[in-house]
Homo-oligomer: A and B are copies of this chain.
Amino acid sequence: MSPHPLRPTLTTAWSRLETSPLYSLNVRDHFMIAHSFRGEVFGPAQRLHGATYVVDATFRREELDTDGLVIDIGLASTTLKSVLAELDFRNLDEEAGFTGQNTTTEFLARTIFDRLVVAIRNGRVGDGARGLQRLSVTLHESHVAWASFEGSV
Protein backbone atom coordinates (compact mmCIF):
# COMPACT_ATOMS: atom_id res chain seq x y z
CA MET A 1 0.00 0.00 0.00
CA SER A 2 1.41 3.38 -0.91
CA PRO A 3 2.24 5.79 1.93
CA HIS A 4 -0.17 8.55 2.71
CA PRO A 5 0.46 11.88 4.43
CA LEU A 6 -2.43 11.33 6.86
CA ARG A 7 -0.87 8.15 8.21
CA PRO A 8 0.61 9.27 11.53
CA THR A 9 2.72 6.31 12.71
CA LEU A 10 4.48 3.27 11.36
CA THR A 11 2.42 0.76 13.32
CA THR A 12 -0.83 -0.39 11.85
CA ALA A 13 -2.36 -0.46 15.30
CA TRP A 14 -3.24 3.18 15.50
CA SER A 15 -6.18 3.42 13.22
CA ARG A 16 -8.96 1.77 15.14
CA LEU A 17 -7.55 2.77 18.52
CA GLU A 18 -7.62 6.38 17.46
CA THR A 19 -10.88 6.36 15.57
CA SER A 20 -13.34 8.82 16.98
CA PRO A 21 -16.39 7.77 18.99
CA LEU A 22 -19.52 7.27 16.94
CA TYR A 23 -23.24 7.24 17.59
CA SER A 24 -25.53 5.22 15.30
CA LEU A 25 -29.29 5.01 14.89
CA ASN A 26 -30.97 2.37 12.75
CA VAL A 27 -34.46 2.13 11.24
CA ARG A 28 -35.78 -0.90 9.36
CA ASP A 29 -38.33 -1.33 6.55
CA HIS A 30 -38.72 -3.55 3.47
CA PHE A 31 -39.62 -3.65 -0.22
CA MET A 32 -40.48 -6.40 -2.71
CA ILE A 33 -39.31 -6.43 -6.35
CA ALA A 34 -38.90 -8.58 -9.46
CA HIS A 35 -35.73 -8.61 -11.54
CA SER A 36 -33.32 -10.82 -13.50
CA PHE A 37 -29.57 -10.81 -14.01
CA ARG A 38 -27.34 -11.04 -17.08
CA GLY A 39 -24.09 -13.03 -16.92
CA GLU A 40 -23.29 -16.70 -16.50
CA VAL A 41 -22.08 -16.12 -12.96
CA PHE A 42 -25.71 -15.65 -11.94
CA GLY A 43 -26.83 -19.16 -12.98
CA PRO A 44 -30.59 -19.67 -12.41
CA ALA A 45 -30.88 -16.04 -11.23
CA GLN A 46 -30.69 -15.09 -14.90
CA ARG A 47 -34.38 -16.05 -15.01
CA LEU A 48 -36.98 -13.50 -13.96
CA HIS A 49 -37.45 -13.93 -10.21
CA GLY A 50 -37.78 -11.59 -7.23
CA ALA A 51 -36.84 -10.74 -3.68
CA THR A 52 -37.99 -9.23 -0.44
CA TYR A 53 -35.33 -6.86 0.83
CA VAL A 54 -35.49 -6.01 4.54
CA VAL A 55 -33.58 -2.73 4.72
CA ASP A 56 -31.57 -1.32 7.63
CA ALA A 57 -30.60 2.34 7.29
CA THR A 58 -27.97 3.22 9.90
CA PHE A 59 -27.23 6.91 10.43
CA ARG A 60 -23.93 7.82 12.16
CA ARG A 61 -22.39 10.94 13.71
CA GLU A 62 -19.82 11.84 16.35
CA GLU A 63 -21.94 14.19 18.47
CA LEU A 64 -25.65 14.11 19.24
CA ASP A 65 -27.77 17.09 18.25
CA THR A 66 -29.26 19.49 20.81
CA ASP A 67 -32.24 17.14 21.40
CA GLY A 68 -29.90 14.28 22.28
CA LEU A 69 -30.55 12.56 18.94
CA VAL A 70 -28.60 11.15 16.01
CA ILE A 71 -31.65 11.92 13.87
CA ASP A 72 -35.41 12.35 14.30
CA ILE A 73 -36.42 8.69 14.19
CA GLY A 74 -39.88 9.54 12.84
CA LEU A 75 -38.46 11.51 9.90
CA ALA A 76 -35.81 8.83 9.35
CA SER A 77 -38.52 6.17 9.08
CA THR A 78 -40.77 8.12 6.73
CA THR A 79 -37.82 9.15 4.56
CA LEU A 80 -36.65 5.56 4.27
CA LYS A 81 -40.20 4.48 3.42
CA SER A 82 -40.51 7.12 0.70
CA VAL A 83 -37.18 6.10 -0.85
CA LEU A 84 -38.19 2.42 -0.83
CA ALA A 85 -41.63 3.27 -2.27
CA GLU A 86 -39.90 4.27 -5.53
CA LEU A 87 -38.74 0.64 -5.86
CA ASP A 88 -41.48 -1.33 -4.09
CA PHE A 89 -43.78 -3.64 -6.06
CA ARG A 90 -41.87 -3.10 -9.29
CA ASN A 91 -40.02 -5.10 -11.94
CA LEU A 92 -36.57 -3.48 -11.83
CA ASP A 93 -35.79 -4.81 -15.33
CA GLU A 94 -38.24 -2.22 -16.66
CA GLU A 95 -37.18 0.77 -14.55
CA ALA A 96 -35.59 3.45 -16.73
CA GLY A 97 -32.89 4.28 -14.19
CA PHE A 98 -31.52 0.74 -14.18
CA THR A 99 -31.26 0.03 -17.91
CA GLY A 100 -28.31 -2.25 -18.62
CA GLN A 101 -27.58 -2.61 -14.92
CA ASN A 102 -27.57 -5.80 -12.85
CA THR A 103 -29.65 -4.75 -9.86
CA THR A 104 -27.69 -6.90 -7.42
CA THR A 105 -28.26 -6.59 -3.69
CA GLU A 106 -24.96 -4.71 -3.39
CA PHE A 107 -25.94 -2.29 -6.14
CA LEU A 108 -29.37 -1.66 -4.62
CA ALA A 109 -27.76 -0.98 -1.23
CA ARG A 110 -25.65 1.69 -2.92
CA THR A 111 -28.65 3.10 -4.81
CA ILE A 112 -30.67 3.50 -1.62
CA PHE A 113 -27.62 4.97 0.12
CA ASP A 114 -27.29 7.60 -2.63
CA ARG A 115 -30.99 8.50 -2.50
CA LEU A 116 -30.94 8.80 1.31
CA VAL A 117 -27.87 11.06 1.12
CA VAL A 118 -29.74 13.35 -1.29
CA ALA A 119 -32.71 13.38 1.10
CA ILE A 120 -30.43 14.25 4.03
CA ARG A 121 -28.74 17.08 2.08
CA ASN A 122 -32.13 18.42 0.95
CA GLY A 123 -33.26 18.66 4.57
CA ARG A 124 -36.00 16.04 4.20
CA VAL A 125 -34.76 14.27 7.34
CA GLY A 126 -34.73 17.49 9.38
CA ASP A 127 -32.16 20.20 10.02
CA GLY A 128 -30.48 18.11 12.71
CA ALA A 129 -29.71 15.43 10.15
CA ARG A 130 -27.29 17.81 8.41
CA GLY A 131 -24.86 16.87 11.19
CA LEU A 132 -24.77 13.25 10.00
CA GLN A 133 -21.37 12.02 8.92
CA ARG A 134 -21.80 8.44 7.74
CA LEU A 135 -24.62 6.23 6.52
CA SER A 136 -24.83 2.45 6.12
CA VAL A 137 -27.56 0.71 4.13
CA THR A 138 -28.01 -3.06 4.54
CA LEU A 139 -30.35 -5.22 2.45
CA HIS A 140 -31.25 -8.61 3.93
CA GLU A 141 -32.35 -10.85 1.05
CA SER A 142 -32.91 -14.04 3.09
CA HIS A 143 -32.10 -15.56 6.48
CA VAL A 144 -28.62 -16.41 5.18
CA ALA A 145 -27.53 -13.49 2.98
CA TRP A 146 -27.31 -9.73 3.10
CA ALA A 147 -25.32 -6.95 1.45
CA SER A 148 -24.54 -3.40 2.51
CA PHE A 149 -22.92 -0.14 1.44
CA GLU A 150 -21.45 2.33 3.89
CA GLY A 151 -19.99 5.74 3.10
CA SER A 152 -19.76 9.37 4.12
CA VAL A 153 -22.86 11.54 3.91
Number of chain A interface residues as a range: 35 or more
Known: A1-B101, A20-B15, A64-B107. Is A50-B72 also a contact (CB below 8 A)? no
Complex Cα–Cα for A109 and B1 (A): 13
A20 touches B47 (CB 8 A): no
Q: Which of A1-52 contact B (CB under 8 A)?
A: 1-2, 4, 6-8, 11-30, 32-35, 39, 41-45, 47-52
Chain B hits for A47, CB < 8 A: 89-91
Chain B hits for A17, CB < 8 A: 1, 20, 133-134, 152
B4 touches A14 (CB 8 A): yes
Complex Cα–Cα for A103 and B47 (A): 18
- Oligomer: number of copies: 6
Known: A74-B43, A91-B47. Is A27-B145 also a contact (CB below 8 A)? yes
Known: A49-B90, A50-B49. Is A146-B106 also a contact (CB below 8 A)? no
- Chain A residues proximal to chain B, CB less than 8 Å: 1-2, 4, 6-8, 11-30, 32-35, 39, 41-45, 47-54, 60, 62-64, 67-70, 72-74, 77, 88-91, 101-107, 109-110, 114, 117, 126, 128, 133-134, 138, 140-152
**Complex A-B: 20 CB contacts under 8 Å:** A2-B101, A6-B14, A16-B19, A23-B106, A23-B109, A28-B143, A28-B144, A30-B143, A33-B50, A34-B50, A47-B90, A48-B91, A49-B89, A49-B90, A51-B52, A54-B143, A64-B107, A68-B101, A68-B103, A69-B106
